[in-house]
Amino acid sequence: MNAYMKEPQLALRLIEVGLTVAGIVAVITPLALWASWSETVFYTVLLVGCSAFLIFIGLAKVRGYLTGENMTGTVVLGLEAVRRRQEDWDRLQEDDPEIGRRQRSIKGDARREVGFMFRVSFGLILIVGVVFTVVWAGFEMYYGV
């Protein structure tokens, strides 16, 4: 194993862990702001949440530099280059039957996944409706007019 490859991989993993933690903190910040019980806690949570957003942006930039995914603001694709890339892509799609089979497979997978999500959502809505109806009936029976 190449010893030089361990350090960048470790750095990328640490950056991704930092991105995950900062993202979770940033997502939880609005709820924590809503639940803060004093002005001091409110401003502390607000400071931590804003810091998490800034840390997330900074780590994303560093990760882009390490992986070479960053594009400077001066890199602009011209319309001609975009058209050429689209023509190349279309030609590749027509020439390779394997890609067409994969696309049909992906469409089928997506159709199955959407159906599954619909069934799960409908089931959850049905369960919640039944639970609310049972609780409402219990309240009506004990505390009804």
Across 6-25, average pLDDT: 84
Digit-coded pLDDT (tens) for 28-69: 988 888 888 888 989 999 999 999 999 999 988 888 887 766
With 50 as the cut, is the pLDDT of residue 8 above it? yes
- Confidence at residue 129, expressed as pLDDT on a 0 to 100 scale: 94
DSSP secondary structure of 31-71:
HHHHH--SHHHHHHHHHHHHHHHHHHHHHHHHHHHHHT---
With 50 as the cut, is the pLDDT of residue 1 above it? no
Are the beta carbons of 33 and 45 closer than 8 angstroms? yes
- Confidence at residue 107, expressed as pLDDT on a 0 to 100 scale: 67
- Confidence at residue 56, expressed as pLDDT on a 0 to 100 scale: 92
Digit-coded pLDDT (tens) for 63-120: 888 776 655 555 556 777 778 888 887 777 766 767 666 666 666 677 778 888 999 9
